[in-house]
Structure 1
C-alpha cells in the first residue's frame, strides 16, 4: 500500500528536477533577449529624441519580422527531442541542421525584402519626418543581422531538444555583454551614431550564431552527422513549422487587435494598456520557461516510446503552471504600488490601469495552464491542432473585442475579452491533452 505513493513521489521529484534544470536556464536566456533592445534604447537615447524615436520604429519592425519565425525554435526542439529519446543522436543533430539551413534561407529572403523596403516600411509605420531617416538607417543595417538571428533561434531549438538549456543561457549572456560594449564603442567611440548601434547589434548576433554553430558542429562530428544541406530535410522542417507559423500569426493578431481597440478607447486607455502588456510579457517569460522544458521532456519521452512518462510529465508540468500562475498573480497584486509608479504618474492612467491589472493577476493560473499545455503539444509535434485551436480562439476573441468601444466599454472590459481569449485557449488545449491523441510515440511523428 505504501509502495505506490512512494513511487509516485519519486516520479514527481524526478520530473521536478528535470523541469527546474531545463526551465531556470531557459528563463535566463528568454529574459536576456529583450535586454538587447533596452541597451540599444539607453545608449541611443542620449543621441537625441529623433534618434530614439527612429530606433523605436525600427526595432518594432525588426522584432516583428523575427518573432514570426519563432517556429524555427519550437519545431526544431520537438523534432530533435524525439530522436534523442529514440537514442539516435546522429539523426537528432542532422534534423537540427536541417532547421538551421532553413533559418539561413529564410533570413536571406527577409533581408532581400527588408533592406530595399525599409523606407516604405518606416513610412507605413508612421514615423515622423525627423525620426524616419534614423529609423531607415537602423532598420537597413540591423536587417543584415536577421539571418544570424534566425540561425540563433533554430540552433537554440537544437540544444533544447538535446536537453541543454544552459548553453543558450551562456550564449545569451555573452551576446548581451558584447552588444552593450559594441554599441558604446561604435556609437560614441567611433562616432557612428545610430548606425553604430545597428552595427553593434549585427556583430553581436553574428557572434552568437557563430558560438551556436561551433557547438552544433562539434556535436555533429562527434556523432558522425552530416552538415550538408539536405533539400528533403529542409522541406520537412518547413512543413513541420507551417502550422506553428499559423499559430504565431493568429496570436500576434489577437495582440494587435487588443492594442487597436485600446487606442480607440483614448490616450489614457492605450497608455494603461501598454503598461499592462509590458507586465504581461514579463510574466510570460516565466511561464514560457516551463513550456520550453515541456517541449524538451515530452519530445524525448515520446521518442523513447514512453507514453506513460509523457502523460506523467504533462500532469506534473500543469501543476507547475498552476502554482507558478498563482505565485505570479500574488506578486502582481503585492508589487503594484511599486510597479505602477515606474511607468506613470498620471492619476487618470493609474485609475484606468488598476482594475485591469488586478484582472491580469487573477487569470495568471489560467495563463500557466495555457503556456504549459502549449509547450506539451509543441513537444508532441501536434502543430496542426495548435494552429486550428488558435484560429478558433482568434475568431471568438475578435468580435467580442471589437464590440468594446461601440458598447461604451473601457479598458477593463477589453481585458475581460482577453480573459475570454485565455479561457478559450485553455479549453481547447485541455480537451486535446485529455483526449490523449497527442501521444504519438516514435522518433518521428
Structure 2
C-alpha cells in the first residue's frame, strides 16, 4: 500500500519493523521450543524410540524459527514490490541445498535424525541470508516503537485466526473419516493431498493480487483495484474449469495410482468428483481472498473464516449419523464450506467497491 502511494520511506520502515519483530519473536521462540522439545513430543504421543528421535529433530529444527520468520518477511517485502521471481529462486535453491546437505549428513556422515534436522536449519539460514540480501534496498533499520509493532501484530493475529479456522475444517474432516473406517481415513488423506495441490495452483493466481490491489489503492486508483479483482475471478474460473475437467476425467484412474487397496480405491472416485466440482467455488474464494488481503481487509477475513466453520459443522453431521455417506459426505460438507467462502467473499468485495474501499486499516 505504501509503495503504491509513493511512500518509499514508510515502506522501508515497515520492512525494518518486520525484521526486528521477526528476530524478537524468532530467537526466544526457537530457544523455548528447543528447551521444551521432549515434553512437547511426549504430549503429542511420542514414546520410546519415537520420543527420542522426535525430541532430537524438534530440538534442532526449532533453532531455525528466526530464519523462517525472516524468509516469510522477505516474501512479503519482495511481493510488495511485485518481485515474485526472486523468492521463487531463493526457495528452489534452499530446497536443493537442503537435499544435498541432508544426503551427506544422513547417509555420508551417519548423523541420522540430527543430520536431517541440521540440514534443514542450514538451508533455512541460507534462505534467510539470501532474503536479507535481496531486500537490503527495501528496508531501513531503526528502533521501532510499540505503535509501529501494533499493526503488524494485529494483522498477524487475524491471519492466525483465519489459519486456525481453516485447519479446524480439515482436522474435523480427518476425525470423521477416522471414525468411519481405515480405508475411508486413507482415502481422505489422498483427497486432502489432491486438494492441496489444486489449491496451490489456484492460489498462485491469487498471490499477486496482494500487491496489485494494494498498489492500486495506495495510488488512489480504486477503479483499477476493482477491475483487477474482477479479472482475477474470471481468470481463476477458467483455470478451475481446466482443473475440474482434468480431475473428473482422471477420477477412475487416479485411485490406482495412489493405492492398490480396492477398499480405498472404491472410496476415492466419488470424492474426487466432488473435489472437481469444488474447484469452481474455490476459484472465486481464493481469488477474492487475495484481493481482500490486498485491500487490507484481514480483520474481516479472520471473522469470516470463523463464521464458515458454523456452516461446515452442521454439513458434516449427516455423515456421522449415516456412515454410508462415506468420503463423499465428508467432502460434500467441505464443498458447502467452500461455497460459503466464495459467496461471502464475493459479497464483501462488492460492498468494498460500493464504499470506495474506505477501510480504517487502509487509511
Match of 1:303 in 2: 218
CA RMSD of aligned residues (A): 1.9
Q: Secondary structure in 1 aligned to 2:255?
A: helix
Q: Contact 1:85–1:443 (CA<8 Å) still a contact in 2?
A: no
Match of 1:332 in 2: 247
Match of 1:421 in 2: 337
1:333 to partner: Cα distance: 2.2
Q: Contact 1:298–1:379 (CA<8 Å) still a contact in 2?
A: yes
The answer on 1:218 being equivalent to 2:133 is no
Unaligned runs of 5+ in 2: none
Q: Secondary structure in 2 aligned to 1:131?
A: helix
Q: Contact 1:287–1:371 (CA<8 Å) still a contact in 2?
A: yes
Tell me the number of residue pairs that the alignment of Structure 1 and Structure 2 aligns: 360
TM-score (normalised: structure 1): 0.77
The answer on 1:144 being equivalent to 2:63 is yes
1:235–1:130 Cα change, 3 Å = same
The answer on 1:407 being equivalent to 2:322 is yes
Match of 1:274 in 2: 189
Q: CA offsets per residue over residues 309-332 of structure 1, 9 Å max, x none? A: 000000000001111111111121
1:97 to partner: Cα distance: 2.2
Of 86, 97, 104, 1:167 maps to 86
1:226–1:143 Cα change, 3 Å = closer
1:176–1:304 Cα change, 3 Å = same
Once residues 189 and 117 of structure 2 are traced to their aligned partners in structure 1, the CA distance between those partners, rounded to angstroms, is: 25
Farther-moved stretch of structure 1 (294-303 vs 187-196)? 187-196
Once residues 438 and 135 of structure 1 are traced to their aligned partners in structure 2, the CA distance between those partners, rounded to angstroms, is: 52
Q: Secondary structure in 1 aligned to 2:110?
A: coil
Match of 2:16 in 1: 97
Once residues 237 and 9 of structure 2 are traced to their aligned partners in structure 1, the CA distance between those partners, rounded to angstroms, is: 37
Match of 1:321 in 2: 236
Match of 1:198 in 2: 117
1:141 to partner: Cα distance: 0.5
Q: Contact 1:303–1:441 (CA<8 Å) still a contact in 2?
A: no
Q: Secondary structure in 1 aligned to 2:21?
A: helix
Q: Contact 1:302–1:442 (CA<8 Å) still a contact in 2?
A: no
Match of 2:46 in 1: 127
Once residues 442 and 163 of structure 1 are traced to their aligned partners in structure 2, the CA distance between those partners, rounded to angstroms, is: 24
Q: Contact 1:269–1:349 (CA<8 Å) still a contact in 2?
A: yes
Q: Contact 2:187–2:265 (CA<8 Å) still a contact in 1?
A: yes
Match of 1:439 in 2: 357
Q: Contact 2:296–2:361 (CA<8 Å) still a contact in 1?
A: no
Unaligned runs of 5+ in 1: 1-81
Of 367, 370, 376, 2:285 maps to 370
1:113 to partner: Cα distance: 3.5
1:160–1:181 Cα change, 3 Å = same
1:415 to partner: Cα distance: 0.8
Q: Contact 2:91–2:127 (CA<8 Å) still a contact in 1?
A: yes
Q: Contact 2:190–2:258 (CA<8 Å) still a contact in 1?
A: yes
